[in-house]
Structure 1
């Protein structure tokens, strides 16, 4: 007679004819702690009743006046100069008015970024003090890592490295660790469970490491976190939210928890993650830019936002009570892409927490927060498509009742970041049309306004050149400010290879970014047009390795960008040589779109620059201990081959693990009589007919495999199949 499942030790070796039966097994330790529910009501975006009075923080009015007042002043000046450029003939045509409007919108975007960067530069120039080392923590924090079809070698290496680092601070008692899986691929799910059980065995019973897999990834990452908060959040004061590629030092994690303890009105405290472990050409560009320019931009944002800050979805600590009280996200009315569940949930959660009176702040100078980035231009474009849809969804939320003005500004900034691309494209098209009109179309003799002379669409070339120089200066200023800070910081300058290599690296980054910019403009514009046409995006797992994309996929994605560049170049040259020269950066980027995209994902090109000390960052020159430890653990984990293993073969080969898997399954939902799950029924029929696991693997579809893995009875039947080949 078989023993009940709850009395079996999944890690015990099975008895054989040559070995005595093992001693009585201890009960299987559950993968999750007892539930501690926390109510998480769905929020109403159309109405808002303020809750308990919380002290309103002093807002940084001076910083906001500098950023927004300066941005407004610069925009007004730029618009005036553009008006002077196009009104040299004494009148303006309709196309020139359109050009003026588009220029003003685009210029306002870069002017605001410029003034915020100036503010960040001035703050960092004073060398703000780092957070103090905290004393003993008295609160409890859940460190949660949501995963979705990720490589377990990397994710569990990161968890193990961070766990060790926190234990080394002496504050390990204050943290519990959770891997929250939304994986839909059976092989990824089973690899996660095997990696979890192995890590739990290594860390021992005191590690407080837990794992949960959701049968349905309802509402994706937001639903994953919401499920944890509503079921287990009551047991924790805070949760530290990670991404699958996140790494944080023990000191950084403990400092965030201490900051939450010290600020009882804080709802979210966001760190600034730096990019590490990147080696392809494009990823190294991003890594260098984030390290040298990112702190200037982030510090400016943090300074003017104050306690009305934003949340980037990871590497941040959140007060669980505040999150449960304020962040139950509703489905938006209508169908995707503008309706349905909220994609870019992090901005919305920050706005709703702030609406409830909790503070949202950022610690941009707190060291020890890291992440990774996509390895190529196409990988960024795939992720960007989802972000574009999520940010445009915010147009349905920006007017929600009760939001703070700064929260609405964060929404507006996110929307503008994607709308800027089609606006820039429109400005180029209108400018090209105006030059064409000047060269080939007769003047407009009869205008709505009375005049004695016809209206010629002429320009002031000298003023236009000055305005172009001003625009480029404002656009590149955040980069130059970040470079200046790095040059005057001795340790950073030396770690980047010295002043000369640092300057050359910045020039390389600026040049390559200028070539990539028109490609990104068309990619983002295409995403915006698809969204406006009603096309929804999926939620594919992000590619994080350094492998290159096949050339056929690159040609397919960029062939029309190249054609458009050739057409624009030929047209501009036919109209005027000066126009061709003025448009040459855009034309060159588009004509070379295929080789640029190919080069972006090349590991060899990135490593060639690395060997010559170019695009180096301090974290690359002298890797932080947490990064080195996670890398070593990842290599060790990869040797186990869990990510390459077949789920069904792994379960069949290890009955102890199969029993552990069955015990980790959530209780099956009640099934109405007569309601048959076709995937489960087909899986059962095929397993009943199969004689070997090879036959079962060949016959089962992906959906039927998933149904099998969720059903203990089918798993038991599957375990009785022979392992021989069909």
Structure 2
């Protein structure tokens, strides 16, 4: 897990950065990228670091409030955990503690500590929002430095991403500070059809906005190291042009006020390395996604404010909707490749946590602006889509076990890693706790106890539990599990705009109760799914990185049955086993059993667009942002619909675009220039594309023969494009062969 080096180049002061009106800013409007301004991004070491390498803060700040919040959160969490551990021990200590009961106590403490910490953090957030939250900052009058807004994309719907970026550009221009920003689409797309559509959408977008607006598009032939590699490629090629960069996700959206405020805050704070926003979920319509959207809006501010309060300037980074000091990022966030094979070795998947830890280690601050507003994202539309995303996140977070002991990290960074790891390890721990609880009940019901063992004792070992204390402990657990939700509900009821935007007080309360019930039913399904992910990686299996499905819509019922049939079987087995042991056991496990038995139905029903829209019509699970859309959201949605129905709707096939010499000329001009010779480094896709084009007698014949990967190889090679264009443009009268099908 070591890196090659830890070289740290000199970092310029603000006055050394290129001013906005420099003649070097001139750019060719016909080019897809500006002139390169390389910035070195050396690989960092995780096993070597000296405190002498850490920069000194330029401004001294009083952090008493942060330390008081940490005392409340961690001291309170520890006190609650200690109390819970004592009570659990007393529950099983009646008559002595067996090894199985000790295992139950240990697992309970591990799970209880997790929710206790979340509870005390929510208290801190609730107090901050009630009494300490400052008013949102006024927009800046001017900006001194240049910021790049970068959107990494990977096989995304072009109408969505280009519509969103245009809406953000228009908002930033409306602030009068548009000259301080340049916009990048960083494409790692591997689908040839989407690749062509991206270029067409980019050409059309420049024509709509005007050729003087600084919008750029870069496509990488191979998506090496995924999103982290995509950002690194940008930094090492153009990072020297920009003091800061705002990193987006493909489903990100930010208001002009939010973007310019981030830039102004970064300019005003020379010690800041990363400043994170708190994104809200928008544009969701299936029931499952609406539940997530409602929870994020009502409970999210409390949770986010709590985390921000105790993190202070030792915060975390979530990979998007944040501003980053470019040169600090380049100097200190070059990610190493972990030794060994995936899933625990190889390149780092959840790069954002590690980048935050490394930039903190270098002496910069990372913090959140939880009350800034104007930062949005989307969420998976169904339980199965969430599971697919969770699979990637699970591997990335478990991989942090390799990063956790890195030299020089701050304690807060290690806490972030532990929190991320526990987010997934908690599921198998919970499952083990349930199994051991069932085993103890089974033992008490069917196995004859040995009251007097071979060892001399004055009193027998009674296999008994303290039922009254057990019930009190269960009530305490449910209280600290649910109170953060009620903190969010209380704030929403107090805040007039939030209350009205959520449909009024009655609908808000009903929506909260419905969300709690749905969360309780879905929790055991996610427990089994995440436990499966953890075990999958523990046994050495790597995961893929398919594009995320973002659009609302149902998944085929057969796929839902196949995905959840094991969960239903587990629920039925638990029900039969529980009834054969004790009806009280079934009552105790009823939420878990019911959720598993209904897994197929819940996954199907919550993934339906019609069910979610029905809830919207009756005013449940509403959010203020849904009732009154922010202008940037409304504009983005309108542009996405317009583009999807117009210029980027029909993803043209090669036969059609071959008749468009203007597009081919632009496409060829944008391809990277280099020697035609491959010096023996011949990829199979390229070789097959060359052979098929040479064999074909007509353009339509070549198109029908080329597979998607071969088409992608052809689209990135000038010689193959020229050979293809020389073929006779005859086309059989049969249906045209599209670029995506062969």
Structure 1 residue 114 corresponds to structure 2 residue 119: yes
Matched, 1:657 2:652: no
Aligned Cα root-mean-square deviation (Å): 1.5
Distance 2:387 2:575 in 1: 25
Candidates 140, 150, 171, aligned match of 1:144: 150
Point out the more displaced range, 506-515 or 42-51. 42-51
Offset, 1:460: 1.2
- Return the alpha-carbon distance in structure 1 between the equivalents of residues 511 and 437 of structure 2: 33
1:98 aligns with 2:103: yes
Q: Mean Cα displacement is larger for which, 181-190 or 443-452?
A: 443-452
Q: What are the equivalent positions in structure 2 for 1:556-705 lying under 5 Å apart?
A: 556-640=562-646, 642=648, 644-668=650-674, 671=677, 673-705=679-711
Higher mean C-alpha deviation, range 455-464 or range 435-444:
455-464
What secondary structure sits across from 2:400 in the alignment?
helix
Partner of 1:51: 53
**Aligned with residue 374 of structure 2, among 368, 373, 377:** 368
Q: Which residue of 1 aligns with 2:35?
A: 34
- Residue 695 of structure 1 and its aligned partner are, at CA, apart by 1.4
**SS of the residue 2:274 aligns to:** strand
The match for 1:421 is 427
What is the correspondence of 1:705-716 to structure 2 with a 5 Å cutoff?
Answer: 705-716=711-722
Instruction: Please tell me whether the aligned partners of residues 187 and 647 of structure 1 are also in contact (alpha carbons under 8 angstroms).
Output: yes
| 3-state SS in 2 of match to 1:360 | strand
Structure 1 Cα separation of the partners of residues 544 and 675 of structure 2: 27
1:536 corresponds to: 542
Q: Give runs of aligned pairs for residues 377-396 of structure 1, distance below 5 A.
A: 377-396=383-402
**Which residue number in structure 2 is paired with residue 719 of structure 1?**
725
Q: In 2 relative to 1, CA 468–569 (structure 1 residues): closer, same or farther, beyond 3 Å? A: same
Structure-2 change in CA distance of 1:582 and 1:346 (3 Å): same
Give the corresponding residue for 2:217: 211
2:28–2:34 Cα contact (<8 Å) kept? no
Once residues 383 and 731 of structure 2 are traced to their aligned partners in structure 1, the CA distance between those partners, rounded to angstroms, is 43
2:183 is paired with a residue whose SS is: strand
Using the TM superposition, give the Cα deviation of residue 367 of structure 1 relative to its aligned residue in structure 2, in angstroms. 1.1
The within-5 A match list for 1:214-233 is 214-233=220-239
Paired residues of 1:177 and 1:209 also in contact (CA < 8 A): yes
> Which of the residues 331, 336, 358 maps onto 1:352?
358
Q: 1:564 to 1:264 in 2, by over 3 A?
A: same
Q: Distance in 2 between matches of 1:669 and 1:287?
A: 51
Partner SS for 1:317: strand
Distance 1:450 1:319, change over 3 A: farther
**Structure 1 residue ranges without an equivalent (≥5):** 1-25
Once the two structures are TM-superposed, the CA of residue 600 in structure 1 deviates from its matched residue by 1.8
Distance in structure 2 (CA, Å) of the matches to 1:319 and 1:287:
31
Give me the whole-angstrom Cα distance separating, in 2, the residues matched to 1:673 and 1:630: 46
What does 1:253-652 align with in structure 2 at a 5 Å threshold? Answer: 253-445=259-451, 450-640=456-646, 642=648, 644-652=650-658
458-467 vs 601-610, which deviates more?
A: 458-467
Look up the SS of the partner of 1:103 in the other structure. helix
The 3 A distance-change label for structure 1 pair 449 and 597 is farther
* Gap change, CA 1:638 and 1:433, over 3 Å in 2: same
2:589 is paired with a residue whose SS is helix
Q: 1:345-401 CA distances to partner (integer Å, 9 max, x unpaired)?
A: 000000000000000010010010001111000000000000000000000001100
> Given that residues 28 and 660 in structure 1 are in contact (C-alpha distance below 8 angstroms), is that contact kept between their aligned partners in structure 2?
no
Question: What is the alpha-carbon distance in structure 1 between the residues aligned to residue 682 and residue 44 of structure 2?
Answer: 35
Contact (CA 8 Å) 1:67, 1:112: kept in 2 or not? yes
Shift of 1:643: 5.3
CA distance in 2, matches of 1:474, 1:449: 42
Q: Judging changes above 3 Å, is the alpha-carbon distance between structure 1 residues 448 and 692 closer, same or farther for their aligned structure 2 residues?
A: farther
In 2, are the aligned partners of 1:96 and 1:457 still within 8 Å (CA)?
no
Q: Secondary structure at the match of 1:309?
A: coil
CA gap 1:493/1:654 in 2 versus in 1, 3 angstroms: same
Instruction: Check whether the contact 1:283–1:374 (CA below 8 A) recurs between aligned residues.
Output: yes
Distance 2:91 2:197 in 1: 63
Equivalent residue number for residue 23 of structure 2:
none
* TM-score, structure 2 as length reference: 0.92
Q: CA deviation at 1:491?
A: 1.1
- Give 1:663 shift: 1.2
Aligned counterparts of 1:647 and 1:447: Cα–Cα separation in 2: 80
Alignment partners' CA distance in 2, 1:195 and 1:260: 32
Residues 73 and 120 of structure 2 are in contact (CA less than 8 Å); yes or no, is this contact kept in structure 1? yes
Q: CA deviation at 1:681?
A: 2.5
Equivalent pair of 2:392/2:544 in contact (CA under 8 Å): yes
Partner of 1:123: 128
Q: Could you say if the C-alpha distance between residues 435 and 644 of structure 1 is closer, same or farther in structure 2, counting changes exceeding 3 Å?
A: farther
The DSSP-based 3-state class of the residue aligned with 2:218 is strand
Unaligned stretches of 5+ residues in structure 2: 1-26, 733-742
Q: What is the rounded CA distance, in whole Å, between the counterparts of 2:231 and 2:681 in structure 1?
A: 30
Q: In structure 2, do the counterparts of structure 1 residues 712 and 590 end up closer, same or farther at CA, with 3 Å as the change threshold? A: same
CA apart distance, 1:706: 1.3
Contact 1:36 1:231 in 2 (8 A): yes
- Once the two structures are TM-superposed, the CA of residue 674 in structure 1 deviates from its matched residue by 4.0
Distance 1:674 1:67, change over 3 A: closer
Distance, in Å, in 1 between the alignment partners of 2:384 and 2:137 is 38
CA distance change for structure 1 residues 488 and 698 in 2, over 3 Å: closer, same or farther? same
Deviation at 1:507?
Answer: 0.5
Matches of 1:116 and 1:333 in 2, distance apart?
35
In 2: Cα distance, 1:622 partner to 1:132 partner = 22
Q: Is the 8 A contact 2:201 2:647 kept in 1?
A: no
For residues 681 and 141 of structure 1, the distance between their equivalents in structure 2, rounded to whole angstroms, comes to 41
Q: Which moved more, 1:659-668 or 1:704-713?
A: 659-668
For residues 396 and 57 of structure 1, the distance between their equivalents in structure 2, rounded to whole angstroms, comes to 33
Match of 2:6 in 1: none
Match of 1:129, SS?
coil
- Whole-Å Cα distance in 2 between the matches of residues 393 and 134 of structure 1? 41
Q: Aligned partners of 2:381 and 2:234: how far apart in 1? A: 31
TM-score normalised according to structure 1 size: 0.94
Query: What's the offset of the Cα at 1:289?
Result: 0.3
- Cα-to-partner distance string for 1:174-219 (whole Å, 9 max, x where unaligned): 0000000001111111111110111011111211000000011110
Give distance in 2, aligned partners of 1:642 and 1:658: 16
Q: Secondary structure at the match of 1:454?
A: coil
SS, match of residue 396 in structure 1: coil
State the alpha-carbon separation in 2 of the partners of residues 474 and 27 from structure 1. 59
